[in-house]
């Protein structure tokens, strides 16, 4: 009788940080939710056949033109971002329109972070996301490939 084939389980050592791929996403006119979902999959490594849920096997992602991302419907006025200081009555809310004016990169970062697993691995994954408001980015030396959404 033949022994059963063993399934492959990736290890942390199989994916050193220096050998990761780099992808470039142009957010100009792209839907926020659809773009964030695709970015989260690439950060986790779900686009690779060697995906393992508990291992960081994903790539680096650079997002440019973050200030031109599209929010559908009335989300600019009806979507709110909340933060709390820990003191009674200190819940602060900011609309998506205000957030896009002040920190457009945080809108994308919060959307992607919400689509990552809520555990210790997500902190390691979100570090690999680089977001810039303009068209220029300092990662040209890594020669990122364009990521189609």
**CATH code (residue 131):** 3.90.1180.10
pLDDT at 12: 86
Residue 12 domain-assigned? no
pLDDT digits 0-9 by tens, 82-126:
999 999 999 999 999 999 999 999 999 999 999 999 999 999 999
68: confidence class by pLDDT, cuts 50, 70, 90: very high
Task: Reply yes or no on whether the pLDDT at 3 is more than 80.
Answer: no
In the chain, the N- to C-terminal Cα span, in Å, equals 47
- Measure the CA angle with vertex 54, ends 129 and 147; round to 5°: 35
Residue 83 domain-assigned? no
Q: How many domains does the chain have?
A: 1
**Residue 95, number of CB atoms within 10 A of its CB:** 15
**Residue 115, number of CB atoms within 10 A of its CB:** 16
Threshold 0.85, pTM exceeds: yes
What domain range includes position 48? 19-72+104-146
Section 127-132 average pLDDT: 97
């Amino acid at each position: 009788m033949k022994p059963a084939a063993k399934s492959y389980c990736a290890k942390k050592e199989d994916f050193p940080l220096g050998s990761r791929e780099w992808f470039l996403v142009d957010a100009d006119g792209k839907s926020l939710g659809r773009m964030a979902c695709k970015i989260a999959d690439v950060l986790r490594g779900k686009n690779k056949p060697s995906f393992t849920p508990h291992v960081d096997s994903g790539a680096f992602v650079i997002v440019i033109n973050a200030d031109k991302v599209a929010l559908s419907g009335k989300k600019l006025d009806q979507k709110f971002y909340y933060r709390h200081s820990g003191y009674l009555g200190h819940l602060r809310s900011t609309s998506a329109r205000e957030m896009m004016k002040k920190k457009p990169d945080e809108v994308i970062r919060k959307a992607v972070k919400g689509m990552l697993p809520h555990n210790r691995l997500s902190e390691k994954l979100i570090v690999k996301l680089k977001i810039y408001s303009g068209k220029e980015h300092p990662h040209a030396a890594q020669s990122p490939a364009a990521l189609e959404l």
